[in-house]
Structure 1
Amino acid sequence: MSNMMIWVPVMGIVALVYSFWRTSWISKQDEGTEKMKAIGQHIADGAMAFLRAEYRILAIFIVAVAVLLGLANTGAGKSPLVAVSFIVGALTSGLAGFLGMRVATKANYRTAQAARTGLSKALGVAFAGGSVMGLSVVGLGVIGLSVLFLIYREIFSDMSMVMSVLSGFSLGASSIALFARVGGGIYTKAADVGADLVGKVEAGIPEDHPLNPATIADNVGDNVGDVAGMGADLFESYVGSIVGSMVLGATIMVSGVLAPEFVFLPLLIAAAGILVSISGTFMVSVKEGGDPQKGLNIGEFGSSAIMVVVMFFMITQMLPATFIMGGIEYSNYGVFWATTIGLLAGLGIGFITEHYTGTGTAPVNSIVSQSQTGAATNLIAGLGVGMQSTAIPVLI
C-alpha cells in the first residue's frame, strides 16, 4: 500500500501536464480582431495587477501566521513543521489561482471569436479554459498533500502526529481562500455597480459597452472574483475534504484497527479521480443549435458513473472486509455507500441549482413574470425563489 502512495503525486503531475497542454491549445486559437485583442489584453493586465497587489499583502499575512504557528507548536507532542504545511498550502492555493487567472484571460476573447463561427467551437474553448482551472486545483492539491504526507511519514512514527502536522496545509489553503474570495468579491461588486452607475445611469451607455472605461474594471472583477477567488475556494474545499477523511482514517487506526489503508485511501481516490475527470472532459461536446448544458451534464454524469465503479473496487480491495470501532462492527461496503451517497449528494445539489437558475425553468419564469409589474415585485419574487431554493439542498 505504501508503494501505491508514490502514484498519488504522479497523478497530480499528470493533471498539471494536462492543464499545460490545454493552455497551449487555447493559446493557438484565433484571437479575433485587433479591437478584441486590445480589450482582452486590458482585462488581462488589470486582473494580473489586482492579483499581484493582493498576493503582496497576503505574503505578509502568511509569513506572520507561519511564525506564530511555529512558535505555538514547540512543546511535547507538537511540531513546528505545521508552519511548513501552512506555507505550502498557501503557496499551492495561490498558484492555482494564478494559473486559472492566466488561462481565463486568454480564453475569454478567444471564446468570443469562436462564438462568431459556431456554438460547438465556443463551448470547446470555454470548457478548455475551465478544465485548466479545475485540473490545476486538484493537481496542486494532490501533489502538495501527498508529498508532505510521504515526508512526514518518514519523520514521525505516530499517524496521529502526521495528520496533526499535515492539517496545517488545509489551514493555509483556507487562509488564501478567505482573502481571495472576499477581496475579489468586494472588488467585483464595486466595479460592477460603479460601471453601471456611471454608464447606464449617468451617461446612458448600454451595459458592458466598450465606450465605458469602467467596463474593463467590471470584467477584471469577474476574473478576480469568479476565477481566482472561486479557484482558491475550490482548492480549500477539495483539500479540506481529503484531510478530513484522512483524519477520520487516523482516528480509526487509533481506535485499534491497525490498517493504514484508512489514511491512504482518500488520497488514492483523489488520484484516481484525476484520471476519471480527464476522461470526462472528452465526453463534453455540443452540436450546433444544441443545448450546451446537456453537453456539460453528459461529461459530469459520465465521469461520476465511472468514479462510482472505480471507488467500489478501490474500497473493497484496500480496506478490510469488516472492522470494529467503538464496539461496533462495520464493513467496507459501508464506506463505499458513504462515499457514493456523498457523490450523489453533490450531483443532486448541482441539479437543484440548475433547476432554480437555468434559462426557461419554472422558478426563473416566475421571476420574469413578476418583473412585468415593476422592480418591487421582481425583488420580492427573486428573494422568495432564492430562499425556496435552499430547502432541498439542506435536506440533501
Structure 2
Amino acid sequence: MNTEYIGLGLAWASGIIALLYSATIAKKILSLSSGTLEMQRIAQAIQEGAQAYLKRQFLTISFVGVILAVMLYGSLGSHVSLGFILGAILSGVSGYAGMSVSVRANVRTTEAARSGLAQGLAVAFQAGAITGFLVVGLGLLGVVSIFTFLTIMEGTERFLLETLIAFGFGASLISIFSRVAGGIFTKGADVGADLVGKIEQGIPEDDPRNPAVIADNVGDNVGDCAGMSADIFETYVVTLVAALQIAFLTVNTSRELMIYPMVVSGVCMLGCILGTFSVRLGKKKNVMNALYKGLGTSIVLSIVGLVYVTWMFFGFDQILYDKVTGLSLVLSGTVGMVSTAILVWITEFYTSTSHRPVQQIARASVTGAATNVICGLAVSMEACFFPAVVVCSGILCAYTCAGLFGIALAGSSMLALGGIIIAIDAYGPVTDNAGGIAEMAGLPPEVREVTDALDAVGNTTKAVTKGYAIGSAALASLILFSAYTQELKHFFPNLSIDFSLNNPFLMTGLFLGGAVPYVFSSMSMKAVGKAGAAIVVEVRRQFSEIRGIMDGSQTPEYGKAVDILTKFSLKAMILPSLLPVVLPLGVYSVIASGFGQIQAFSALGGVLMGTMITGLFLAISMTSGGGAWDNAKKYIEAGHFGGKGSSAHQAAVVGDTVGDPYKDTAGPALNPFIKIVNLVALMLLAFL
C-alpha cells in the first residue's frame, strides 16, 4: 500500500515539476529583449494572427465538443462526459499556451541571433522546451488526477476505464481538428506564398513584399507548434491510458501495475528535464548534434530512472505474472526508448540535407519539376520500410519480455520522452519565424546567416519528430487494438468473436478500414490545394492592384491572406475530422443490423486493423517524403545545382509545394485519425 502512495505521489510531483519548469523558462524568455521597433511590429502581427486564428478554431471545436459531451453524458454518464471535457480542455490549453510563448520567443530568438549562433540556439530551444514540458506535464496530471479521484472515491472505481478512454477521446478530438485545420492554414499560406513570390515574382522567402508572408509565419505556429503539441499530448495520454487498461484487463486488477506506467512516465519526464541542460553548441558549431546531445542524455537518464522505480516497486527477481519479473519490465521500457532513438535517426537519414535521399531529389530537380516529383515519391515510398522494421522489432522484443503489458510499457516509455521531443520540434517554428523576422526587418546579412543555420536544422527536427510521433502512434494503436479484444472478453464473456482471416466480416472491415485513411488524406490535400489556390489569387491581385509593393513604397494587405485562410481552414476541417468518429459507428451499425452483433464486432476489429496498417504507412510516406522535398529545395538554395533562381531551384519549389500538404497536413493528421477510430470502438463497447 505504501508503494502505491509513493508511486502516485511521484507521478503527481513529476507533473507539477514539469509545469513549474515550463513557467520558469517562460519567465526567463519573456524577460529578454525583443529587438528593434520594426522587429516588434512584425512579431506583433504574427502574434495577433495566430491568436485570432486559434480563438476562432477553439470556438468551432467547442460547438462540436459540446454536442459530443452531451451525447456521452446521456449514453455513458457524467464521469465519462467530464473525462472527455477534461481531455479536450487540457489538450487545447497545452497547444494554446505553448503557441503563445513561441510567437513571443521568435523575435527574441532573432535578437539573440545578433549575438551569435549559440545564443540563438539557446533561446529557440528553451522556447521549445516550454511547450514540451507543458504538454507532458498536463497530460500526466490529467491521467493521474482521474485515476486518483476515481479510485479514492467510494463506488466510482468501476467508471475508471471508461472515463480514462473518454479523456483520451477528448484529447484526440482537439488533436485531429488542430492538425487538419492548422495544416490547411499553414500549407495554404506556404503554397500560395512560394508559387507567386518565389516563382512568379522572383523574390526571396520571407520577403516583406509578399502579401502572404505574415500568414506563412502564422501558419508555422498554428500548424507546427499548436498542432504538434495537441498531437503528442493525445498520443501521450492515449498510450498511457491504454497501458493502464491492459494492466487492468490482462495482467491483474491490483493497483500497483496500473500505477507503474504513470510512475515511469514521471521519472522519464524528470530525466528529460535534466537532459535539456546538456543542449550546448560544441566546437564544431553543429546545431543538430547539440540537440541530439539533449535527446541522448534524456534517454540515458530516463533508463536510469526506469531501473530505479522498477527496483523500488517490484525488485528485479519477483515474478509478477506469467514468469514476468521486474527485470522484464525494465527491458520492455528500454525497448521503447531505444526504438525512439532509432526512429529519429532513420527519419533524419531520409530528410536531412547531409544524406543520400535529399541529395537525390535535388539532383533530379536539374532536369525539371517532373523528375523532382518522381524521385520524391520514390523516396517517400522507400522511407516506409525501415521504420516498420523498428516498430515490428520493438513489438516482438517487448512482447517476448512481458507480453501485452510489455508492448504497452514500451509505448508509454517511448511517449514519456515527449518533453524533449516536443522541445526539439517546437524549436523548428520558432527559428523559422526568427528568420522571417530578420528578413522582413532588414537586419544585416550576418544575422540572417545565423537564423538560416538555425532554421535549416529546424526543418529537419520537424520531420524527425513527426517520425517519432508516427512510430509511437503505431505502438499506441496496437495497444488500443489489444484493449479492444480484451474489453470484448471483459464485457461480453459469452460471445466467441472470430478474428481469423477466413472470416468475411473481418475482411470486410479490414478493407474498409484500410481504404478510409486514403479518403481522409485526399480530403485534407484537396483542402490545401483549394486554400493555396485562393492565396495565389489574392497575392496576384495585390501585386497587380497595389503597384507600390515591389518598390517598397506601399505595404501589402497582410491581414487579407490571414482572414481568407482562417475562414477556409476552419470550414474545411469539419468533415475530415468527424470521419474517424463516424467510420466505426457506421460499420458496426450496418453489420449488426444486417448480420448480428458477433459479426459486427469482427468487422469492427477489421476496421481497427485496416486503419492502423494503411494509416501508419501513409503517414510515414507523407511526412518523410514531404520533409525530403522541402530539404531538397533548401539544399539547392545553399548553392548546389545552380542555387537560388536556377531552373533546378524552380523545380524544387514545385516539389516542395507538393510535399507541403504531405508532411504538414495529411500525414501528421493520420496519427490522431487512427487512434480516434480505436477510442470510439472502445467507447462503443462500454455503451453496449
Ranges in structure 2 where 5+ consecutive residues have no aligned partner: 391-688
Matches of 1:136 and 1:65, distance apart in 2 = 26
The CA deviation at 1:105 is 0.3
The CA deviation at 1:307 is 1.0
Residue type of the alignment partner of 2:359: N
The question of whether the paired residues in 1 share the 8 Å contact of 2:79 and 2:159 is answered with: no
Matches of 1:49 and 1:150, distance apart in 2 = 36
Q: Give the equivalent residue in structure 2 for 1:150.
A: 148
Residues 279-358 of structure 1 aligned to structure 2 (within 5 Å):
279-287=274-282, 290-319=285-314, 321-324=318-321, 328-358=322-352
The CA deviation at 1:329 is 2.8
Residue type of the alignment partner of 2:308: F
Q: Give the equivalent residue in structure 2 for 1:92.
A: 90
Q: Give the equivalent residue in structure 1 for 2:513.
A: none
User: CA-to-partner distance for each residue in 1:214-249, whole Å, 9 max, x for gaps?
Assistant: 100011011100000110001011111111111111
SS in 1 for 2:207: coil
The question of whether the paired residues in 2 share the 8 Å contact of 1:252 and 1:262 is answered with: no
The question of whether the paired residues in 2 share the 8 Å contact of 1:120 and 1:287 is answered with: no
The question of whether the paired residues in 2 share the 8 Å contact of 1:119 and 1:287 is answered with: no
User: CA-to-partner distance for each residue in 1:87-130, whole Å, 9 max, x for gaps?
Assistant: 00000000000111111101112112222221100110110111
Aligned to 1:11, which of 9, 14, 39?
14
User: CA-to-partner distance for each residue in 1:270-327, whole Å, 9 max, x for gaps?
Assistant: 1112211110110101046510111111111111011112112222331372133xxx
Q: Give the equivalent residue in structure 2 for 1:359.
A: 353
SS in 1 for 2:367: coil
Shifted more, 228-237 versus 58-67: the winner is: 58-67
Residue type of the alignment partner of 1:23: A
The CA deviation at 1:258 is 5.2
How well do the aligned residues superpose, as a CA RMSD in angstroms?
A: 1.7
TM-score, with normalisation over the residues of structure 1? 0.93
Matches of 1:366 and 1:233, distance apart in 2 = 31
Q: Give the equivalent residue in structure 2 for 1:110.
A: 108
Residue type of the alignment partner of 1:43: I
SS in 2 for 1:194: helix
SS in 2 for 1:213: coil
Q: Give the equivalent residue in structure 2 for 1:249.
A: 247
Alignment partner of 1:58 is 2:53: no
User: CA-to-partner distance for each residue in 1:166-186, whole Å, 9 max, x for gaps?
Assistant: 221111100000100001001
Q: What is the count of residue pairs matched by the alignment?
A: 385
User: CA-to-partner distance for each residue in 1:354-373, whole Å, 9 max, x for gaps?
Assistant: 11111221222222222222
Distance of aligned partners of 1:343 and 1:361 in 2 relative to their CA distance in 1, 3 Å threshold:
same
Alignment partner of 1:269 is 2:250: no
User: CA-to-partner distance for each residue in 1:66-100, whole Å, 9 max, x for gaps?
Assistant: 11011111xxxxx4301100000000000000111
Shifted more, 371-380 versus 291-300: the winner is: 371-380
TM-score, with normalisation over the residues of structure 2? 0.54
Q: Give the equivalent residue in structure 2 for 1:72.
A: 75
Distance of aligned partners of 1:230 and 1:262 in 2 relative to their CA distance in 1, 3 Å threshold:
same
Q: Give the equivalent residue in structure 2 for 1:388.
A: 382
Aligned to 1:229, which of 227, 230, 234?
227
Q: Percent identity?
A: 38
User: CA-to-partner distance for each residue in 1:246-282, whole Å, 9 max, x for gaps?
Assistant: 11111245xxx45321100111111112211110110
SS in 2 for 1:323: strand
Matches of 2:66 and 2:128, distance apart in 1 = 31
Ranges in structure 1 where 5+ consecutive residues have no aligned partner: 74-78
Matches of 1:37 and 1:289, distance apart in 2 = 32
Question: Which structure would you say has the larger RCO, counting Cα contacts within 8 Å and 6 or more residues apart?
Answer: 2
Q: Give the equivalent residue in structure 2 for 1:2.
A: 4
Shifted more, 196-205 versus 375-384: the winner is: 196-205
Q: Give the equivalent residue in structure 1 for 2:451.
A: none
Alignment partner of 1:167 is 2:165: yes
Q: Give the equivalent residue in structure 1 for 2:32.
A: 29
Q: Give the equivalent residue in structure 2 for 1:137.
A: 135
The question of whether the paired residues in 1 share the 8 Å contact of 2:275 and 2:301 is answered with: no
Alignment partner of 1:376 is 2:370: yes
SS in 1 for 2:185: helix
Matches of 2:96 and 2:227, distance apart in 1 = 10
